[in-house]
Structure 1
Amino acid sequence: MAHPYLAYYCLNISTIPENSSYQSSLSSLLSSISLYATSEFQFNKLQKFLNISDPLYGLQLCHGDVTTEVCRECVATVAKSLAVVCSRKLVALIWYDECMIRYSNESFFSTKNVLPGFALSNIQNITELHRFDQLVNTMMIDLESQASEVPAGSKKFKTKEANLSELKMIYSLVQCTPDLSTTDCNTCLQEAIGTLPVCCNGKQGANVLMPSCYVRYEVYPFYNIIDTAPSPATGLPPLPPRELEGMMNFFFLIFF
Structure 2
Amino acid sequence: MTTTMVMASSHKIFLVFFITFLLFPTTQAQTYLYHICSSNSTFTADSAFQSDRATLLSSLASNKAIDFYSDTVVGRGDTIYGFFMCRGDDLTTCHQCVVNATQRLPSECPISKEAIVWYDECLLRYSNRSFFSTVATTPRVALLNTGSVSAPASFMRTVYDIMNKTADEAAKPSVGKKKYANTTRGNFSAFQTVYCLAQCTPDLSPSDCRWCLSGAIGDLNWCCDGKQGGRVLYPSCNVRYELYPFYYQSEAPEPTPTPAIVPLPGSQGKPLTYLLRM
Question: What TM-score do the two structures reach when normalised by structure 1?
Answer: 0.88
In 1, the alpha carbon distance for the partners of 2:235 and 2:225 equals 23
Residue aligning to 2:114: 91
In 1, the alpha carbon distance for the partners of 2:194 and 2:252 equals 15
Instruction: Provide runs of 4+ in structure 1 moved above 6 Å.
Output: none
Q: Aligned pair in 2 of structure 1 residues 19, 48: CA closer, same or farther (>3 Å)?
A: same
The alpha carbon displacement at 1:250 in A equals 3.7
Residue aligning to 1:11: 38
- Structure 2, unpaired ranges of 5+: 2-17, 21-30
- Structure 1, unpaired ranges of 5+: 230-236
Q: Would you tell me which structure has more helix in proportion to its own residues?
A: 1
Deviates more, 1:123-132 or 1:57-66: 123-132
Q: Aligned pair in 2 of structure 1 residues 247, 190: CA closer, same or farther (>3 Å)?
A: farther
Q: Would you tell me which structure has more strand in proportion to its own residues?
A: 2
Question: What TM-score do the two structures reach when normalised by structure 2?
Answer: 0.81
Residue aligning to 1:232: none
Residue aligning to 2:78: 54
For the 8 Å contact 1:158–1:228, the answer to whether it is kept is no
Q: Where do residues 1-256 of structure 1 align in structure 2 (5 Å cutoff)?
A: 4-39=31-66, 42-51=67-76, 53-67=77-91, 69-163=92-186, 164-227=188-251, 243=263, 249-251=272-274, 253-256=275-278
In 2, the alpha carbon distance for the partners of 1:107 and 1:87 equals 20
In 2, the alpha carbon distance for the partners of 1:224 and 1:87 equals 35
Q: Aligned pair in 2 of structure 1 residues 33, 240: CA closer, same or farther (>3 Å)?
A: farther
For the 8 Å contact 2:42–2:113, the answer to whether it is kept is yes
Bigger RCO of structures 1 and 2 (CA < 8 A, at least 6 apart): 2
For the 8 Å contact 1:122–1:204, the answer to whether it is kept is yes
For the 8 Å contact 1:37–1:44, the answer to whether it is kept is no
The alpha carbon displacement at 1:37 in A equals 3.9
Please provide the CA RMSD for this pair: 2.4
The SS at the match of 1:225 is coil
| Percentage identity across paired residues of the two chains | 38
